[in-house]
Amino acid sequence: MTPTPSPNAPLIVLAAGGTGGHVFPAEALAQELLSQDYRLALITDRRGERFGGTLGLIDRHFIWAGALAGTGLFGKLKSTVELMIGTVQAFNLMKRLKPAVVVGFGGYAAAPTMVAALFARVPTVIHEQNAILGWANRKLAGSVTKVCTSFDLARPAPERAQLIRTGMPVRPAVAAVRSSGYHAPAPNEPFRILVLGGSQGARVFSDIIPAAVKLLPEQLRHRLEISQQCRPEEVDRTHAAYAGLGVHVELRHFFDNVPELLAKAHLLIARAGASTVAEATVAGRPSLLVPYPFAADDHQTANAKALMTSGGGWMMPQGEFTAETLAQRLTHIIEQPQQLADAASAALAFSIPDAAGRMAAVVASVVPGKNGARAVAASSVSATVTSLNNTGHIERHIEHRFSRGAA
């Protein structure tokens, strides 16, 4: 049951787009803040109509939101106009809702909401899920009140940014796996592999993993139990690739029992999204990560390197992810149970299991009246808007609109 906050409790506005990497931490923080007697509202785009869980129960407000940093003259003009419209809508919401703090999680809807909050002089917190600040967060980091990060950043943040590593909040069911411990399998025991490819599965895993399994020594191959996420159109083809290999395989395009599968897994093979890394490490499971090579700023490689450096897993760039190299790596991993146990321990040490609580503490610290939190200066706001678009006359129009509105 969702707690009912006091009518006079401070209002915290969350701003998040529609992708899982932005929604999961927003959902976790919402649960934590409600338990601490805060009122909540969500500003999002139309994708937010699909949200369930706690985000589906709190007040939701929808604004215009489109892709940021378009390419070409038309793309840049279009993205700037969309930013302007969304910012005007969000600013009007700021005046009506009068939030104590606005918390942004990235995504199209977050940037205009955070700009509007800066103009309205509301204390602001942003959360960066990856080891490299996303485009909008880079532009905002020097102006917002606090920046919460999941990782130690692989690239410098703006000089004025107030960074706090809080970690990446994970679902309570995943956090519960942590207490189950990790048992590295003996040579005569099954070896369970969980393969996750993101929300739509990864075609490269369907291409490479069955072929690599086929190259394993027979005694290792017959120990394998594989649960693998595939694209819907790849399920039949992947089944056929595993046929006759003597491997127990479960293929689905979506697993609704990931915490249960993580608890049983001896090894996770996955992309290196922030949510995946956070869930694997909080659960204390070793990972073999294959970063998506076309992720913005190659942030998945930075995520994977952070985990690899900690000793909590291994990274294989997609260019090196072949059947032969994967078969060699799996043979080495499976035959070294102590290495697996050490990686599991390192993953636990790398993780921050109370990330939602840490984020909530940061939010509480900037609520006006509690610790003397102050809104950002108007000059800093103007600099932020300038950097968020490079179409001068539209930029000046936005600034003029909000200078009058904030007066």
- Convert the pLDDT of each residue in 100-158 to its tens digit: 999 999 877 899 999 999 999 999 999 999 999 998 899 999 999 999 999 999 999 99
Give the pLDDT confidence score for residue 3 in this predicted structure.
74
Give the pLDDT confidence score for residue 311 in this predicted structure.
98
**Residue that has been written with the tokens 């090894």 in this structure:** 267
Instruction: Check if the beta carbon of residue 110 is closer than 8 Å to that of residue 124.
Output: no
Give the pLDDT confidence score for residue 52 in this predicted structure.
79
Give the pLDDT confidence score for residue 69 in this predicted structure.
55
The per-residue pLDDT for range 233-256, each reduced to its tens digit, is 999 999 999 999 999 999 999 999
Question: How many Å apart are CA 132 and CA 154, to the nearest integer?
Answer: 6
Give the pLDDT confidence score for residue 108 in this predicted structure.
78
388-to-101, 166, 196, 359 alpha-carbon distances in Å: 21, 26, 34, 25
Mean pLDDT value across residues 36-49: 87
The per-residue pLDDT for range 275-327, each reduced to its tens digit, is 999 999 999 999 999 999 999 899 999 999 999 999 999 999 999 999 999 99
Give the pLDDT confidence score for residue 2 in this predicted structure.
67
Give the pLDDT confidence score for residue 389 in this predicted structure.
47
- pTM (two decimals): 0.86
Q: What whole-number percentage of the chain has pLDDT above 90?
A: 72
Give the pLDDT confidence score for residue 67 in this predicted structure.
61
Give the pLDDT confidence score for residue 200 in this predicted structure.
66
Give the pLDDT confidence score for residue 201 in this predicted structure.
73
* Torsion sign (Cα): 233, 18, 198, 185: negative
Give the pLDDT confidence score for residue 66 in this predicted structure.
64
Tell me if residue 314 falls in helix, strand or coil: strand
pLDDT band at 385 (very low <50, low <70, confident <90, very high): very low
Give the pLDDT confidence score for residue 81 in this predicted structure.
84
Mean pLDDT value across residues 368-395: 47
Ramachandran bin of 44, using left for φ above 0, alpha for ψ from -120 to 50, beta for the remaining angles:
beta
Written in H, E and C, the secondary structure of 87-121 is: HHHHHHHHHHHCCCEEEECCCCCHHHHHHHHHHCC
> Which among 335, 378, 350 is positioned nearest to 386, based on CA atoms?
378
Give the pLDDT confidence score for residue 247 in this predicted structure.
96
Give the pLDDT confidence score for residue 74 in this predicted structure.
74
Question: How many Å apart are CA 154 and CA 113, to the nearest integer?
Answer: 26
Q: What whole-number percentage of the chain has pLDDT above 70?
A: 86
pLDDT band at 23 (very low <50, low <70, confident <90, very high): confident
Give the pLDDT confidence score for residue 243 in this predicted structure.
96
Give the pLDDT confidence score for residue 372 in this predicted structure.
41
- Cβ neighbourhood burial of 27 (10 Å; 0-12, 13-18, 19+): buried
Question: How many Å apart are CA 274 and CA 290, to the nearest integer?
Answer: 13
Domains present along the chain, CATH in parentheses: 11-168+354-406 (3.40.50.2000), 173-350 (3.40.50.2000)
Mean pLDDT value across residues 266-279: 96
The per-residue pLDDT for range 55-100, each reduced to its tens digit, is 888 999 999 876 655 567 776 777 778 888 999 999 999 999 999 9
Tell me if residue 405 falls in helix, strand or coil: helix
pLDDT band at 378 (very low <50, low <70, confident <90, very high): very low
Give the pLDDT confidence score for residue 398 in this predicted structure.
37
Give the pLDDT confidence score for residue 85 in this predicted structure.
92
Lowest mean pLDDT across 40-44, 212-216, 313-317, 387-391 = 387-391
User: Does residue 49 surpass a pLDDT of 50?
Assistant: yes
